[in-house]
Amino acid sequence: MGTELSFLTLITNASKVVQLVMLILGLISVASWALIFQHRRVLKNSHRAFERFNQIYQQGDLNRLYDYLAQKREALMGMEQIIKSGFKEYLKAKKQVHTPTVILQSVERALRIALNKEEQYLSQSLSFLGSVGSISVYIGLFGTVWGIMNAFSALANMQQATLAMVAPGISEALIATALGLFAAIPAVFAYHRFTHGVNNLVQDYDNLSEEFYGLLEQRVFHSKPDEGQI
């Protein structure tokens, strides 16, 4: 309890600038942790949705796949939205009686746009985490430098300086650096971990999109007029 009170005392006795730095770092840390939990949940749900959809996709029946996407009541996620965009553009171009080459070009463009949107959605909070990891230490260091300057400035009017006079001011200042590290370390770890996860998932999306494009290409060039709705 004594250490805890001493820690609080150091914060309350710090200069206004150092206290402001601590407050900023505290808010950044809270926001960072909130985004970490949120992004972890998004990435986990996206992986699960991809695995479920991949099981259906591997059956290799485009008509059944189209019916699944058209009849699903829940919001489409990730790969589902990408494939639906490809189907939508394929049917639109086919209805307008375009040539096979034009149809495939339209589908490829739609798939690429949808893939980019999903990648942007998965990466939307990573830039903030990267920024927290980059600037938090410097913000804390600024608070430390400011606090140490004030501690030594207070000694200028004293005839005899002792360690007991300097130590509290330096301790107050170093808390800012500690808070900066407390905010930066989890953010950097989460940033690299999530970036790796997003890259792997987007690569899976891209691979499945290529497979889907290949199936449509076969259908466009080799299908018969009575070969189903797709």
DSSP helix/strand/coil, 14:
coil
The answer to whether the beta carbons of residues 209 and 86 sit under 8 Å apart is: yes
Could you give the number of structural domains in the chain?
A: 1
Q: Does residue 136 belong to any structural domain of this protein? A: yes
pLDDT at 216 over 90: no
Looking at the domain assignment, is residue 50 inside a domain?
A: yes
Question: Which range of residues forms the domain containing residue 157?
Answer: 2-60+123-222
Per-residue pLDDT tens digits for 143-195:
888 888 877 776 666 666 565 666 666 777 788 888 899 999 999 999 999 99
Helical spans, DSSP H, in 72-162: 79-95, 100-122, 126-154
Q: Answer whether residue 175 is part of any domain.
A: yes
Is residue 179 domain-resident?
Answer: yes
Domain membership of residue 140 (yes or no) is: yes
Those residues whose C-beta lies under 8 Å from the C-beta of residue 125, and which sit 6 or more positions away, are 35, 38, 39
The identity of residue 29, as a single letter, is S
Asked, for residue 37, whether it belongs to a domain, the answer is: yes
- Report if residue 87 sits inside a domain: no
Q: Whole-model pTM?
A: 0.79
Encode pLDDT of 8-30 as tens digits.
666 676 678 888 888 999 999 99
In a domain, 196, yes or no: yes
Phi and psi based region of residue 197 (left: phi greater than 0; alpha: psi -120 to 50; beta: remaining)? alpha
Instruction: Kindly state the average pLDDT of the residues 203-214.
Output: 92
